[in-house]
Amino acid sequence: MLLTIIILIACTLIGGLSLNLIPGMRKNLRLPLIFAGSYLFAITIIHIIPELFSVSANPSKIGLFVLVGFFMQQFLEYFSSGVEHGHVHTNKAVSTSGRFSIITALMIHSLLEGTLLTHDSPFHEKHESYSLLLGIVLHKMPAAFALMATMQGLGKRAVYLLILFSLASPIGLLLSDFVLLSQEAVLIVFAVVCGSFLHISTTIFVEASPEHHFGLNKILISISGALLAILVEFMI
């Protein structure tokens, strides 16, 4: 668990700090986002959904909470302005209340996604789910980048918000490991996060293809992301 926490924190910080460390990163974020979105979508389809419905005694109820998670994420993005899927606001001033809304929505989402990393999977012998961890990391790095771009007017205080954001998923991981919940309650939380991942990953595809133009390079990157998810899920 300690290694998982370190990876989550380190990768989030790297993603956020790369705004100033890697020249031109802001202009070239779209293709990495497509890759991350494809991986996240694939791992949701081949790992989270089969696991949810294989364990649940009431699949219809689980499906309902997946739907709840989907629309809950849409509601959260009303406040976060889409930072979860790398939506960078470079020319738009964000008010103090807007910044508070963004970080609050991001924290709620990150706390929930952290819970996915502390359960025993019926499909894996190991307690840790490396395919899910990689998916969350690929998702959090561009989100951290977008957060820093949105908060850059705060100067050094933006780094404090980035640190807070980097701790959210580990806190969710720790809480889910120590708070005793019934299996039904755990499945409901996982279903909500599943719906959230479906919303984020599909939104990335929509935003990455304006006027529904999806070029060959984007298609190849999408396939590469899905293939990596398959490789990590079934080979590692």
129 falls within a domain: yes
112 falls within a domain: yes
**Which residue matches tokens 């790398």?**
86
21 falls within a domain: no
| Cα dihedral value 184, 187, 192, 194, nearest 10 | -160
Q: What is the pLDDT of residue 7?
A: 92
35 falls within a domain: no
pLDDT 10s digits, 34-71? 888 899 999 999 988 998 888 888 888 999 999 999 99
Least confident piece of the model among 16-25, 60-69, 90-99: 90-99
Q: 128 pLDDT exceeds 70?
A: no
Are 42 and 230 in contact, with CB atoms under 8 Å apart?
A: yes
Domain housing 181? 2-14+47-235
221 falls within a domain: yes
Q: What is the pLDDT of residue 155?
A: 74
The Cα-based distances of 60 to 66, 67, 129, 188, 236 in angstroms read 10, 11, 25, 12, 31
Domain count, the chain: 1
Between CA 90 and CA 72, with CA 202 as vertex, the angle to 5 degrees is 85
The Cα-based distances of 100 to 104, 158, 202 in angstroms read 6, 12, 26
22 falls within a domain: no
Give the whole-angstrom CA distance, residue 44 versus residue 222: 15
Are 120 and 179 in contact, with CB atoms under 8 Å apart?
A: no
Are 49 and 194 in contact, with CB atoms under 8 Å apart?
A: yes
73 falls within a domain: yes
Q: What is the pLDDT of residue 165?
A: 92
pLDDT 10s digits, 142-200? 888 888 888 877 778 889 999 999 999 999 888 887 777 777 888 898 899 999 999 98
